[in-house]
């Protein structure tokens, strides 16, 4: 079965490969080529069981589902006691969508479930991912589930728990000694010369992930619309690096509103660590052409799974379309929020705390309903 055709999100040119739009890349802009949006007309959200495969017709993959029970994660109401010393009182509702409940402990499972199914449909025998974070573990798990070989290119900054997880899942972990650029080049060669199926991006500037895989994230929007049935969600705050999750959630909400299943899509907010905050920098420019071409320096941060130097266009698109914004926080604020979540019973990865910390400010609007994406469990980073 031929794969669903892909078109550049920005210039609409058709693209047959996984390295994004080469034409926009020549302008220095990393843009993903994506399949068309799905038509959700007639879907009964109350009966949607959650997860990417709960609505298979919304996915650009027609083969057999590859699943480990991903998605359908809980949304947990957080306390919004006013900070001591602050005059303002929270009056809105703050909710955390806890993606740590996924089978490998992160939101990446939604994407890899679909990406590996696409790899199987494409006849691949080996999948490859470059990741120093949760994507590598998710790729390893779903490849194992489908019986495919998996190679994960990592660097030395991978936390011990995550490294052990990838190894336990039987993936071949290659610690590439070079720069991120050199690692990407090595992955690109493996894709071109050996026919390995890429589950993450390897071109520069990054388009932001495998387009089929990214469609798995639309299920976050479907689940939120189902769970808050009839209530207006004001904003969804998303920890953002290459904006694969941000872009996917945005597309899901667009499909929901187009089908009349949701009155209005929430504002999307990109939450970034200050050490690597291209979206925050971009949105300071007035002109979109300048926003697209933003470059920032990127440094180390406690939110280790985040960090890009240019804003992937799919993220800008999601922010523009939803009237959204971007906010950056320094490591001190991120760690303070991380402790605050733990004090409420939730141990998440620090990247997730970026989102809930940003969300706390938005929820100060009276009556606001704000959802922060808790992208992953903190268990992988606790030791080592």
**Interaction site with its own copies (CB under 8 A):** 67-70, 72-76, 98, 100-105, 140-145, 160-161, 164-165, 168-170, 342-347, 377-380, 382-384
Under a CB-based contact definition with an 8 Å cutoff, are residues 94 and 80 in contact?
yes
- Is 192 or 336 the residue whose CB approaches its own copies more closely? 336
Q: Burial of 290 by CB count in 10 Å (0-12 exposed, 13-18 middle, 19+ buried)?
A: exposed
Q: How far apart are CA 167 and CA 151, in angstroms?
A: 11
Partners of 377 in the β-ladder: 348
Residue 202 Cβ, how far from its own copies at the closest point, in Å?
23
Q: Find the helix or strand (DSSP H, E) in which 150 lies.
A: strand 149-154
- Is 161 or 205 the residue whose CB approaches its own copies more closely? 161
Residue 195 Cβ, how far from its own copies at the closest point, in Å?
23
Partners of 129 in the β-ladder: 152
- Is 157 or 383 the residue whose CB approaches its own copies more closely? 383
Residue 99 Cβ, how far from its own copies at the closest point, in Å?
10
Tokens of 252: 């899901």
Q: How far apart are CA 303 and CA 57, in angstroms?
A: 35
- Is 169 or 277 the residue whose CB approaches its own copies more closely? 169
- Is 222 or 313 the residue whose CB approaches its own copies more closely? 222
- Is 217 or 313 the residue whose CB approaches its own copies more closely? 217
85: preceding bond cis by omega (within 30 degrees): no
- Quote the Cα angle for 29-34-36, to 5°: 140
Under a CB-based contact definition with an 8 Å cutoff, are residues 94 and 117 in contact?
no
Q: How far apart are CA 323 and CA 98, in angstroms?
A: 25
Q: How far apart are CA 297 and CA 222, in angstroms?
A: 35
- Is 40 or 346 the residue whose CB approaches its own copies more closely? 346
Residue 144 Cβ, how far from its own copies at the closest point, in Å?
4
SS3 label, residue 116: helix
Whole-Å CA distances, 150 to 18, 139, 163, 199, 299? 17, 7, 14, 10, 29
Residue 96 Cβ, how far from its own copies at the closest point, in Å?
9
Q: How far apart are CA 379 and CA 61, in angstroms?
A: 32
Q: How far apart are CA 142 and CA 213, in angstroms?
A: 12
Residue 91 Cβ, how far from its own copies at the closest point, in Å?
20
Residue 292 Cβ, how far from its own copies at the closest point, in Å?
38
Residue 40 Cβ, how far from its own copies at the closest point, in Å?
22
- Is 38 or 140 the residue whose CB approaches its own copies more closely? 140
Residue 224 Cβ, how far from its own copies at the closest point, in Å?
14
- Is 32 or 67 the residue whose CB approaches its own copies more closely? 67
């Amino acid at each position: 079965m031929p794969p669903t055709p892909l078109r550049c999100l920005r210039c609409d040119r058709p693209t047959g490969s996984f390295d994004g739009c080469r034409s926009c890349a020549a302008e220095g802009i990393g843009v993903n080529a994506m399949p068309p949006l799905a038509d959700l007309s007639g879907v009964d959200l109350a009966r949607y069981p959650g997860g990417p495969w709960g609505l298979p017709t919304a996915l650009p993959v027609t083969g057999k589902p590859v699943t480990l029970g991903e998605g359908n994660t809980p949304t947990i109401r957080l306390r919004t006691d006013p900070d001591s010393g602050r005059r303002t009182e929270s009056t809105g509702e703050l909710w955390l969508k806890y993606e740590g409940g996924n089978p490998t402990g992160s939101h990446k499972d939604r994407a890899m479930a679909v990406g590996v199914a696409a790899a199987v449909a494409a006849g691949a025998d080996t999948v490859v991912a470059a990741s120093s974070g949760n994507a590598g573990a998710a790729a390893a798990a779903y490849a194992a589930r489908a019986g495919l070989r998996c190679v994960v290119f990592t660097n030395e900054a991978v936390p011990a728990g995550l490294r052990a997880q990838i190894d336990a899942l039987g993936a071949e972990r290659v610690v590439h000694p070079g720069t991120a650029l050199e690692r990407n080049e090595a992955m690109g060669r493996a894709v071109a010369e050996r026919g390995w199926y890429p589950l993450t991006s390897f071109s520069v500037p990054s388009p932001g992930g495998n387009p089929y895989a990214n469609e798995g994230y639309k299920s976050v929007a479907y689940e939120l619309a189902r769970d808050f049935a009839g209530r207006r969600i004001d904003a969804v705050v998303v920890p953002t690096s290459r904006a694969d999750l941000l872009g996917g959630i945005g597309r899901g909400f667009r499909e929901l509103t187009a089908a009349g299943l949701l009155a209005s899509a929430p504002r999307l907010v990109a939450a970034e660590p200050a050490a690597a905050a291209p979206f925050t920098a971009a949105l300071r420019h007035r002109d979109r052409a300048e926003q697209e071409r933003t470059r920032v320096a990127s440094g180390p941060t406690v939110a280790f799974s985040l960090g890009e130097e240019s804003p992937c266009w799919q993220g800008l698109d999601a922010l523009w379309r939803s009237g959204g914004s971007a906010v950056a926080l320094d490591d001190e604020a991120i760690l303070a929020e991380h402790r605050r979540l733990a004090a409420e019973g939730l141990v998440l990865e620090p990247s997730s705390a970026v989102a809930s910390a940003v969300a706390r400010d938005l929820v100060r609007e009276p009556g606001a309903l704000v959802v922060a994406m808790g992208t992953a469990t903190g268990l992988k980073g606790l030791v080592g």
